[in-house]
Amino acid sequence: MNDYANNAVSTNQTWSPQPINSQEELLLNIADRVLTRAKSNGASSAEVSLGHGKGMSVNVRNGEVETVEYNRDKSLGVTVYFGHRSGSSNTTDYADSALESCVDAACNIARYTEEDEYNGLADPALLATEIPDLDLYYPWQVEMDEAIDLATRCEQAALNADSRISNTEGGSLSSHDGADLYANSDGFRGLSRSSRHSLSCSVIAGEGDNMQRDYWYDSCRDRSEMRSAESVGEETAKRTVRRLGARKATTGTYPVIYEPMVASSLLSHFISAISGSSLYRRASFLVDSKGKKLFRDNIRIHEQPLLRKAAGSASFDNEGVATQTRDIVTAGILNDYVLGSYSARKLGTQTTGNAGGVHNLTIDPTEETGLEEMIHSMGTGLVVSELIGFGINNVTGDYSRGAFGFWVENGEIAYPVQEFTIAGNLRDMFMGIEVVGSDFDPRRSTRSGSILIGELTVAGA
C-alpha cells in the first residue's frame, strides 16, 4: 500500500514527487497553470478542483452479457475572485487552449457579478497540513472475463436459490479508481486517491400479478474484502422472496423500525436541516437549534472522517480545510452545525470542515442489539425495508413517505406490507428514537444500525 495515497502540500510543506504517477503529476502541473493564469488575469485569489479516473462495468442478464463499459474521466472546475466578486467555469478538456478559455470565462463572469462580502477562499489557518494515509486506494485491474464471470455467478446464485424466482434484472460488477486534486492560490495542494468496487444483483419473484422485485449489493474499496458472488446472489433471492404475499397495511399509529439501509435517510434529513445553506436562508425547522435538545439522552451523532478504508473518509474538505473527528450531537443536544466557509461567514462563525458534506456520519448504538432482537422487543408494529418518494418539508419538518415493509405481531414478522405511507414530523421523530441497533451497514458513508421510533402514523388500507 502506498504511504502517500492521500497527501497535501501547503506553503509550509515540500511535495514529495516519488509516489505520484504521470497522471497525478499532470494534475499538479495543470492546477499551477490555471492558478497562474487566473492571477495574471487580475484575480485576487482562485481555487481549482480537478481529477481523473478510470473504470469499467459489466451487466449480465439471464447469463448473457448485456453491456460492457470502459470509461476514463477527467474534470476541472475553477473559481476566481476579484475581491468579493466571483466567477466559475468548468471543462473536461486539458488542452492548453481549453484551460485558458476556462480560466478566462471564469474571470469574465467575475467581473460582472455582484459583490458578495462572504465570498472567498477558506481561512488559510484552517487548511490541512498533516494528511494521514486513510487506506482508500486499492485499484483492481480486473480482466473482462473475470468481471463477466462474477456478475454471472451472482445472478445464477439468485436464480438457483428459490424456485419462486421467476425472472431477473441481472447481475452487475463495476470497478473505479482515480485521483482528485484541490489547489488554491494560498498555496494549498491536496491530492486524494481512492477506489470503489461493487457487485450487485436484482431479481423478480412470483407468478401472475403477484410479483415482487428486490436487490442486494456489496461495495468496498479493497476488492479482497468483497463478499463472494454467491453470497450476494443468495441474499438478493432471500430479500426478494420475503416480499411475496404482501398486503396493504392497516391505518393507525404504531412503533416503526427502520432497517439500516433506510435508517440512514433519517440522518440525511437531520444533516440537511443543520447545514449552512438551509440555516442562513432560514429554510430549516432547526434554525437556532444549536445547544438545544433534539434527541433523547442516549443519542450520540458524530463524524469520523479519518476512518481507514471507510466510504466517507477524507483528510480535507472541498476547500482544503482539515476534517476533524467531532461530536455533532451529544446526550441528545446539538453541539454544532455543518458548514463550509461561505455559510459560516453568513452565520458569523467558522467553517466546520464540511464543504461538500459530512464524512462518515455515525449514530452510536444505544444497545448491542440487531434487527431481530429489536423486532422481538417491539411486540407489534412495522419494519420498514424500503422508502419510496421524497415527501420532506425542510422548513416545517413534516415527513411523509411511501414505504414497503413487514407487519410484526407478538415480536415476530407476520407478513409483508405494501402501499402505505408513514408520516410524522422530523422534530418529533428525532425525539422519538428509542433504540439504535449495532447492526450498522459498513458499505455506506452514513453509518447507522436499525432505528426504532416509538410512534408514527401509518396510512394504508
> Where are the chain's structural domains?
6-241, 247-459
Q: Which residues pair with 219 in a beta bridge?
A: 198
Strand partners, 210: 207
Are the beta carbons of 176 and 55 closer than 8 angstroms?
yes
- Using CA atoms, how far apart are residues 158 and 219, in angstroms rounded to an integer? 18
206 contacts: CB under 8 Å, gap ≥ 6: 164, 166, 212, 244
C-alpha cell at 427: 422534530
CATH superfamily, domain 6-241, is PmbA/TldD superfamily (3.30.2290.10)
Environment class of 16 (CB within 10 Å of its CB; exposed 0-12, middle 13-18, buried 19+): exposed
Under DSSP, the state recorded for 323 is: P
Over its length of 461 residues, how does the chain's per-residue pLDDT go in tens digits? 343 344 444 433 433 333 467 888 899 999 999 999 999 999 999 999 999 999 999 999 999 999 999 999 999 999 999 999 999 999 999 999 999 999 999 999 999 999 999 999 999 999 999 888 899 999 999 999 999 999 999 999 999 999 999 999 999 999 999 999 999 999 999 999 999 999 999 999 997 778 999 999 999 999 999 999 999 999 999 999 999 999 999 999 999 999 999 999 999 999 999 999 999 999 999 999 999 999 999 999 999 999 999 999 999 999 999 999 999 999 999 999 999 999 999 999 999 999 999 999 999 999 999 999 999 999 999 999 999 988 899 999 999 999 999 999 999 999 999 989 999 999 999 999 999 999 999 899 999 999 999 999 999 86
DSSP string, 210-257: EEEEEEEEEEESSGGGSPPHHHHHHHHHHHHHTTTT-EEPPPEEEEEE
In DSSP terms, 55 is beta-bridged to 71, 176
Contact criterion met (CB below 8 Å) for 65 and 38: no
What is the pTM for the complete model shown?
0.93
Helix (H, G, I), strand (E, B) or coil at 355: coil
Cβ-count burial 326-344 (b if 16+ within 10 Å, e if not)? eebbeebbbebbbbbbbbb
